[in-house]
């Protein structure tokens, strides 16, 4: 028995050495042979590959289970960490909102008391509808957009067109289901505004550029870069206080304003109608016998 085993070992040793020496060539030859076999009989190779994949599928599925479990556990841990961060942020935000709510309640009570004391007329009621911008008619000569609402939705000529940032323009044409908005940058746009903390009165005049200018400022006005521009309410076009923009240039008698509206993302507009009784706009619209 030992002699037979020793004989097998003596025969296997040279074979093993020969295999190790020419292993690379054997692998290259085997690969080349498989390529030739695949070219000769593609159906056979494809069937063998499919059968091998089917045979390995249970093993691969079993092997992937622990990996999927570990990945799921890690993802749950990451989600838990994110949830804790979000929860902390929401708690802080909730506390800030509660503080704001208490301040708002106190200010509302104070405002109501002051209004009652001064017998101040209430603010004008608002009627609004939100519409999608469906066409941009902006070119070298016109700055206007079309929105997909009209008379059927209660839109009237002269209503303010607002975004979440500020005043974008006003309604100048109204159809049954579509309206045209003249933007504040249009050369035909003229809006009475108040500038800065002093409330210097001026007219915001569009000139088809991204930054309209201020006209008719008094020589002794204290306008400076960074001043906030809002509607003044003069002329009855808009109520006072609507945000318009910010002064960015004051030089050589020219004052430029950067509107708050993001013209590149003008997707929706809120068309707001203000019931402003007794103002010039209403007076002009009445016949002479009624004045």
Residue 290 has pLDDT above 50, yes or no: no
Residue 71 has pLDDT above 50, yes or no: yes
Distance CA 258, CA 226 (A): 10
Q: What percent of the chain has pLDDT over 90?
A: 34
For 209-220, write each residue's pLDDT tens digit.
999 999 999 888
284 — pLDDT class (breaks 50, 70, 90): very low
For 104-122, write each residue's pLDDT tens digit.
888 888 887 887 777 666 6
Top CATH class of 126-275 equals: mainly beta
Q: Which long-range contacts (CB under 8 A, 24 or more apart) does 26-32 make?
A: none
233 — pLDDT class (breaks 50, 70, 90): confident
Q: What pLDDT was estimated at residue 255?
A: 94
Structure tokens at 225: 């870069």
Asked if residues 257 and 184 have their Cβ atoms less than 8 Å apart, the reply is no
Distance CA 224, CA 214 (A): 12
Distance CA 13, CA 126 (A): 99
57 — pLDDT class (breaks 50, 70, 90): low
- Listed by start position, the domains of the chain span 126-275
Bridge partner list, 191? 204
pTM of the model: 0.56
Strands 268-274 and 126-136: antiparallel
Distance CA 21, CA 29 (A): 14
174 — pLDDT class (breaks 50, 70, 90): very high
Q: What pLDDT was estimated at residue 278?
A: 45
Residue 201: which residues within 8 A CB-CB, separation 6 or more? 192, 193, 194, 195, 216, 218, 232, 234
């Amino acid at each position: 028995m030992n002699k037979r085993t020793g004989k097998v070992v003596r025969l296997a040793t040279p074979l093993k050495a020969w295999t190790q020496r020419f292993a690379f060539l054997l692998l290259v030859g085997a690969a080349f042979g498989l390529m030739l076999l695949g070219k000769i009989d593609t159906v056979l190779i494809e069937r063998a590959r499919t059968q091998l994949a089917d045979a390995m599928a249970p093993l691969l599925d079993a092997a992937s289970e622990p990996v999927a479990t570990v990945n799921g556990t890690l993802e749950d841990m990451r989600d838990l960490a994110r949830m804790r961060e979000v929860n902390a942020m929401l708690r802080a935000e909730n506390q800030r909102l509660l503080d704001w709510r208490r301040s708002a309640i106190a200010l509302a009570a104070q405002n109501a008391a002051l209004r009652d004391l001064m017998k101040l007329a209430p603010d004008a009621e608002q009627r609004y509808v939100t519409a999608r911008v469906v066409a941009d008619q902006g070119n070298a000569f016109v700055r206007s957009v079309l929105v997909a609402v009209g008379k059927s939705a209660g839109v009237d000529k002269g209503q303010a067109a607002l975004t979440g940032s500020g005043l974008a323009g006003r309604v100048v044409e109204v159809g049954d289901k579509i309206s045209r908005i003249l933007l504040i940058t249009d050369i035909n746009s003229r809006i009475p505004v108040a500038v800065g903390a002093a409330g210097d009165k001026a007219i915001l005049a569009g000139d088809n550029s991204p930054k309209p200018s201020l006209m008719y400022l008094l020589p002794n006005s204290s306008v400076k870069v960074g001043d906030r521009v809002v509607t003044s309410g003069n002329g009855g076009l808009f109520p006072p206080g609507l945000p318009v923009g910010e002064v960015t240039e004051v030089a050589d008698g020219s004052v430029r304003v950067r509107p708050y509206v993001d013209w590149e993302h003008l997707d929706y507009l809120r068309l707001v109608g203000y019931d402003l009784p007794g103002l010039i706009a209403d007076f002009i619209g009445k016949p002479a016998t009624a004045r």
